[in-house]
Amino acid sequence: MPVITLPDGSQKKFDAPVSIAEIAASIGAGLAKAAIAGEVDGVLVDTFYVVEKDAKVRIITDRDVEGLEIIRHSTAHLLAHAVKTLFPKAQVTIGPVIENGFYYDFAFKDKSFSSEDLEKIEAKMRELAEKNYPVSRKVVSRDEAIQFFKKLGEEYKVKIIQDIPENETLTIYHQDDFADLCRGPHVPSTGALKAFKLTKVSGAYWRGDSKNEMLQRIYGTAWKDKKSLEDYLKNLEEAEKRDHRKLAKTMDLFHLQEEAPGMVFWHPNGWAIYRVIKDYISHKIAEQGYQEIVTPQIVDLELWKKSGHWANFGEEMFTVEADERLFAVKPMSCPCHVQVFKQGLKSYRDLPLRLAEFGCVHRNEMTGAMHGLMRVRQLTQDDGHIFCTEAQIQEEASQFIRSVIEAYRDFGFNDIVFKLATRPEKRLGTDELWDNAEGALGKALSGLGLSFEIRPGEGAFYGPKIEFHLKDCLGRMWQCATLQLDYAMPGRLEASYIAEDGSKKIPVMLHRAILGSVERFMGILLEHYAGKLPVWLAPIQAVAMNITDKQANFVEEVTQQLKKQGVRAKSDLRNEKIGFKIREHTIEHVPYLLVVGDREVESQTISVRTREGADLGVMSVDQYLELLQKAIEQKGRSE
């Protein structure tokens, strides 16, 4: 006779063991229909799960975050079901939930899936969903599971089972004649899956290892209803238009080529944006007392072993051999900054010591993971490290948080989500140390009146961290800035200072970055603004153009006058119609288009238009410079 406690604290008593579906029905017919799964004492379960003793129960619907994840996971199974129905020789591997959707990897040597195949598969998925097949779950032994999938010819499933720890419970989910190894839970029946779309197919290595065979990965998205799906697809379409790789061609910013995979060839326009961003950050950190440094690109492998990077990130590091020694190409700057700190005896009076570097680093990202500026092999981090005492942590954290908020507002991002990642299960240091560290970071956030989300167990093994997630105009979240507290590396690399009592102590090390990666941040900016960067960031701020050859000399004079005032300006003296020139530079997203005709030459003025098509009228060059300066000072701020 279980007593069920519901989220609102109310209780229901049942005369016999009761399923989640029955509990939902006892509350109301609407909830019974909407129930996707349940949560029993914090554990997610299927609706057919039977509660046999007193428990806290929550009914999961598509309004819950967990409900949407279950829908997406179940849709991944529906995809595999459809593929096996249409292509019986295809082997299924894994099909996890990802942000906004899911994917499933298939081993299929007979053919490569095409866009036409995706349409057929999606149509079959809809057919299977409409048949509303009930979903069931069966607990099996390890041997049963291996024999079951061997009979089906699913070699990859057998490999997966063989790698699962022996103490784990194995379950197989069935829908019609399709079966898959899965922990679950899943929707009660395929009819619950009403809003999905397959988006693309790509290659993926088995287990993510390039030494293994290549599989075919089909991506899809799934939502609770058709409206949510349509909204997402519209957003996706808008994101496609804003793809920074397309904008890079239109605006002539950069290119990538096979001879240097994951490494950027910057063009003058792109490098202009890069320099503005870099100069802005350099100026900002100089105001905050940072000393800018530069450290070597290649360092003996022994340093990376001492710091722990080789053990944790060795596969992502490039190595070179010289003078019978093995060196690693720098994947991050922190161990090198510790070396700078160690030069000369440091006292508590020298702390906090703030070092910063635009560190060019290299990481051996997988070929399939690279994506324009968003994920590259050569990147520049606005890397900084603060060496301080424990008593200084909160103040240093507060100052950094303020600087991030100010910087993001200048770049046009006002919506920031703060997350505090706390101690993981495996960690260095005492509980008291972690209590102090987490407390200091939490107080820094709350002291500034900021609400934040706790991410239990998500901190690094050496200390907690604050993550800064910014939201772009499409509602996408990007983690850029981080503040990580590190008790481990200074000690590992033998850094110390003389405390006030004369004892030798190890400093606390704060790793921090405002942008994260200059390349990735620029990609985010380009997509956020759809290429129409604020005037202060625009690679070309103004183009002066003539209507006929007679105005060419004055156009050149105007252009040179603007350049002397620090404006990124150019002239367009081509023998083309003025309408053509205006259209072309509008497509290139140049903020101001300066048109010169006979009347402008006579009055020594310019006719000013914006890329949005607004006619600002005729004005002198000085008047235009005043207007331009105000726009530059505004930066990306909306107020």
Is there a catalytic annotation at residue 244? Answer: no
Q: Are 401 and 444 in contact (CB under 8 A)?
A: yes
385 is catalytic: yes
Instruction: Please return the burial class of 258, using the count of CB atoms within 10 Å of its CB with bins 0-12, 13-18 and 19+.
Output: exposed
Cβ-based neighbour number of residue 578 at 10 Å: 16
What lies within 8 Å, CB to CB, of 638 at 6+ separation is 412, 414
Question: Which of the following is catalytic: 182, 334, 388, 480?
Answer: 334
Please give the Cα distance from 244 to 263 (Å, whole number): 15
User: Token match 């619907």: residue?
Assistant: 61
**Residue 481: which of 516, 454, 520 has the closest Cα?**
516
Q: Is 271 exposed, middle or buried (0-12, 13-18, 19+ CB in 10 A)?
A: middle
List the catalytic residue out of 72, 73, 337, 385: 385
Q: Are strands 504-505 and 497-498 parallel, antiparallel or unpaired?
A: antiparallel
| Whether 378 is catalytic | no
Question: Residues 219, 110: contact at Cβ < 8 Å?
Answer: no
SS3 186: coil
142 as an active site residue: the answer is: no
Catalytic residue among 383, 472, 486, 572: 383
What tokens does 410 get? 């200048």
* Annotated catalytic residue 480: no
Name the amino acid, one letter, at 126. R
Contact by Cβ (8 Å): 341, 353: yes
Annotation marks residue 465 as catalytic: yes
d(CA 585, CA 575): 15
Structure tokens at 424: 């993981």
How are the residues of the chain apportioned to helix, strand and coil, as percentages rounded to the nearest 5? 40, 30, 35
Q: What is the DSSP string of 546-576?
A: ESSGGGHHHHHHHHHHHHHTT--EEEE--SS
Which is catalytic among the residues 124, 363, 528, 585?
363
Active-site annotation holder among 465, 520, 585, 611: 465
| Choice among 175, 216, 381, 392 that is catalytic | 381
**Is 174 noted as a catalytic residue in this protein?**
no
72, 124, 511, 611: the active-site residue: 511
The set of catalytic residues is 334, 363, 381, 383, 385, 465, 511
